[in-house]
Amino acid sequence: MSQDSHAPIEDKLKSAIQWIPTLREEIGRVIVGQHYLVDRLLVGLLANGHVLLEGVPGLAKTLSIRTLATATAADFKRIQFTPDLLPADIIGTLIYSPKENTFHTRKGPIFANLILADEINRAPAKVQSALLEAMQEHQVTIGDETYPLPEPFLVLATENPIDQEGTYPLPEAQVDRFMLKLKVGYPSKADERAILDRMSSTAPNLNVNAVTTLTAISEARTLVNEVYVDPKIRDYIVDLILATRDPATYNLKLGQYIQFGASPRATISLTLAAKAWALMQGRAYVIPQDIKEIGMDVLRHRVIPSYEAEAEEITSEDLVSSIFDAVPVP
């Protein structure tokens, strides 16, 4: 299929994502720089994928998510994860009424469109696991009843680097449910100066206007499915995932450094994220550069380094980069 044949579809896609530049601009009124972070949040929004943000405190992770929720007019709930948090504090619980001699369901903050799980790794594993059913099935079970969550439903979580005091590692089953894991770094010198000029006030202006609707986002999500992925690109995605499990097949001497490779969920996530990224570029088809652009964010938390890799200070990012360098591009 030629690229010219996508022209009618691209016209329809471009009209459906006209809100994206406006949304970027509105978020930029509060968030200085962090274009990488904002663009990946938009990928998660379009591809219906949860996003995990890792970075030291003070990098506007929480503020970015709160600003995104306000600018999209989404029903937003913030959950502060602490060591004494209970699963019922997130999903809800049954409350007994002595007067009526019955139990009533009290729904938790999980019942919203955008959930900010703030400092998610400051709570123990049993609390983090309360999100598993919600993230995968978009539903919550309280007692004997199962309740659907509102659509769209997205978990945007922040975490501190694991070596910081008072943090718990996230269970692998939960980490795999995040489509993207972002590493948020320090701003540049120019951005730091802009932050100083804008925020060094006892009452900085953080007002944000709603510039799009959940309906427009849902329509754009539907169009993500129409983005074309050539069979050669699909094979390239599968080769990348298989290379994380069996590196020797791709002439990579990384077997001793990889404890676990990426799951089939990674294959799906990489495809959807690449389609969303192509859509954001105004294209109705995926190119290999889209895979490379978004691939690290999809795979860095799914390729688990072995003890040998940790001993030699080889990170998951190093392993993923080696795989991208070795697997032939179509």
List domains and CATH numbers for the chain: 21-200 (3.40.50.300), 227-326 (1.10.8.80)
CA atoms of 211 and 20, how far apart (whole Å): 9
Q: What is the pLDDT of residues 28-61, one digit of tens each?
A: 888 877 788 888 888 998 998 999 988 877 777 7
Backbone angles phi, psi at 19, to 5 degrees: -75, -15
pLDDT along the chain (330 residues), means of 10: 57 76 84 83 90 81 83 87 87 83 84 88 80 86 86 85 68 84 84 81 75 84 88 94 88 84 92 92 90 92 88 88 89
CA atoms of 110 and 155, how far apart (whole Å): 9
pLDDT of residue 162: 61
Beta strands in 12-107 (DSSP E): 50-54, 76-80, 92-97, 102-107
Query: What Å distances lie between residue 86 and 112, 120, 140, CA to CA?
Result: 19, 13, 15
Q: What is the pLDDT of residues 91-120, one digit of tens each?
A: 888 888 788 778 888 888 999 888 888 888
DSSP 8-state code for residue 209: -
Cβ-count burial of 226 within 10 angstroms (0-12 exposed, 13-18 middle, 19+ buried)?
Answer: middle
CA atoms of 241 and 310, how far apart (whole Å): 21
pLDDT of residue 9: 67
Global pTM reads: 0.86
